[in-house]
């Protein structure tokens, strides 16, 4: 377990945490939306544009080779980080959203009228809308796994929904609202029994759970750099080689071709077949530094420290009268939940609470949290979400709850 001193050392690597918001110290607890970047990532940005900037794969000049090598080394690093079998199974995209869109578009030729696609009602919009669009286009049917009142997937309902008509099951590893870790290994194996592909949205899991693509045997796994201390606008689609070789490219143009004549084009091998245009080279290269940051700390240390924060959060929450606060996604077993807490002060609107917290320097997310169907399920228009990271402290949780008491006083008047 990390000492307070160790956490302070980690905090010192994040310059943004020293910012003042309306003259209060910033308490950044919106990590499920995006995480902050450590100094080594920020420095790598400057280094890239000072020393390396060049286009990749094309030129044979010194800088281009250097940029290409550095970029491809990060692809290898990511392969290693998630234990994929082949480096060519790592495709760079803009992020989780683009990765899901890529799959929905590239497999569309396999979907026929009456086929079925399964998602859950706790998905991020980016894991709902691409499937809805695909189903509309192909007259396929979107089936929804429901959740129980504590936000857990009703697995017995999934077992009723899955069938030989199912072509793809697309589920989040961890909900960005409830923080609940879904039983994805079971879902993957069950889906494969029926010949269905499985996509796992790993946006929240990537910096919190040890991942092993070969053990999971998943077909597609997607995530974004900015949820793991890296930059925005860059992410990965992991896909099984045999499937990637079979499915269509997503976009067309430079980088992804082998031969072009004015009549006919042949495509490159994977992963390049899926990477049309100049990639986010700097984003990829500095992401490598963010992965080093996570590896240096260690996923298991991140997990156990965040569990400590979760326990303390729940302890403070339980000291508030049940009539006053509602937590969504309750569980007794905090090792089955990441430190993401969505709640409401029952008598007040989440936007009013959020804007006062903001004035006090606290960054939380309020509103529908990119999951309107889930809001409907809980019958609320929005929630307040506090999501913690390795650089958050017990003191910040105290400040949050002390601030919530202040909010109640202010809004009562």
Nearest to 271, CA basis, from 106, 53, 134, 49: 106
The span from the CA of 313 to the CA of 394, in Å, is 8
**For 352, left (φ over 0), alpha (ψ -120 to 50), or beta?**
alpha
User: Nearer Cβ to ligand PLP, position 52 or 370?
Assistant: 370
- Looking at 121, 135, 350, 370, which residue is catalytic? 370
Element (H, E) at 120: strand 116-120
Closest distance to ligand PLP from the beta carbon of 321 (Å): 31
Active site residue 370: yes
The span from the CA of 138 to the CA of 134, in Å, is 6
Closest distance to ligand PLP from the beta carbon of 337 (Å): 14
Closest distance to ligand PLP from the beta carbon of 123 (Å): 7
Closest distance to ligand PLP from the beta carbon of 288 (Å): 18
Contacts of residue 293, defined as CB under 8 A and 6 or more positions apart, other chains included, come to 13, 38, 40, 41, 229
Closest distance to ligand PLP from the beta carbon of 322 (Å): 28
Token duo for residue 243: 């499937």
For the chain, how many residues are written?
413
**Total H helices, total E strands in the chain:** 14, 17
Write the DSSP string, 217-266: T-SEEEEEGGGTTS-SS-EEEEE-HHHHTTSPPSS-SSSSEEEE-SS-EE
User: Nearer Cβ to ligand PLP, position 206 or 270?
Assistant: 206
The span from the CA of 282 to the CA of 70, in Å, is 10
User: Nearer Cβ to ligand PLP, position 145 or 360?
Assistant: 145
Residues in contact with ligand PLP by CB under 6 A are 32, 95-97, 124, 126-127, 172, 176, 201, 203-204, 224, 227, 235
User: Nearer Cβ to ligand PLP, position 202 or 271?
Assistant: 202
The span from the CA of 252 to the CA of 276, in Å, is 6
Closest distance to ligand PLP from the beta carbon of 34 (Å): 8
User: Nearer Cβ to ligand PLP, position 190 or 227?
Assistant: 227
User: Nearer Cβ to ligand PLP, position 237 or 325?
Assistant: 237
Strands (E) located in 285-357: 325-328, 340-345
Residues taking part in catalysis: 370
């Amino acid at each position: 377990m990390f000492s307070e001193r160790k956490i302070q050392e980690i905090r010192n690597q994040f310059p943004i945490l020293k910012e003042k918001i309306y003259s209060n110290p910033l308490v950044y607890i919106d990590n499920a939306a995006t995480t902050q970047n450590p100094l080594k990532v920020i420095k790598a940005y400057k280094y890239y544009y000072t020393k390396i900037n060049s286009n990749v794969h094309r030129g044979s000049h010194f800088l281009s080779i250097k940029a290409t090598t550095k970029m491809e080394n990060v692809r290898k690093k990511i392969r290693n980080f998630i234990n994929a079998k082949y480096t060519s199974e790592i495709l760079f995209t803009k992020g989780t959203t683009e990765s899901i869109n890529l799959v929905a578009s590239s497999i569309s030729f396999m979907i026929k009228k009456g086929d079925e696609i399964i998602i859950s009602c706790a998905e991020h919009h980016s894991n709902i809308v691409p499937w809805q669009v695909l189903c509309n286009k192909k007259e396929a049917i979107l089936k929804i796994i429901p959740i129980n009142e504590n936000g857990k997937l009703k697995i017995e309902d999934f077992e009723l929904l899955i069938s030989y008509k199912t072509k793809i099951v697309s589920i989040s590893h961890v909900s960005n609202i409830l923080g609940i870790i879904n039983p994805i290994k079971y879902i993957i194996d069950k889906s494969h029994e029926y010949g269905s592909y499985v996509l796992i949205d790993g946006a929240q899991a990537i910096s919190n759970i040890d991942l092993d693509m070969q053990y999971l045997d998943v077909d597609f796994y997607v995530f974004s750099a900015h949820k793991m201390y890296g930059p925005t606008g860059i992410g990965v689609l992991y896909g099984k080689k045999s499937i990637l070789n079979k499915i269509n490219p997503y976009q067309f143009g430079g980088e992804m071709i082998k031969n072009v004549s004015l009549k006919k084009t042949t495509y490159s091998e994977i992963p390049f077949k899926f990477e049309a245009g100049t990639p986010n080279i700097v984003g990829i290269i500095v992401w490598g530094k963010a992965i080093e940051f996570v590896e240096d700390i260690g996923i298991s240390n991140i997990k156990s420290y965040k569990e400590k924060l979760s326990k303390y959060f729940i302890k403070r929450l339980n000291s508030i009268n049940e009539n006053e606060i509602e937590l969504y996604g309750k569980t007794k077993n905090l090792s089955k939940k990441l430190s993401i807490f969505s709640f409401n002060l029952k008598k007040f609107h989440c936007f009013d609470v959020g804007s006062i917290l903001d004035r006090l320097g606290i960054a939380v997310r309020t509103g529908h949290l990119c999951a309107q169907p889930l809001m409907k399920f809980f019958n609320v228009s929005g929630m307040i979400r506090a999501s913690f990271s390795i650089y958050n402290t017990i003191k910040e949780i105290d400040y949050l709850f002390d601030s919530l008491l202040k909010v109640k006083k202010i809004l009562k008047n």
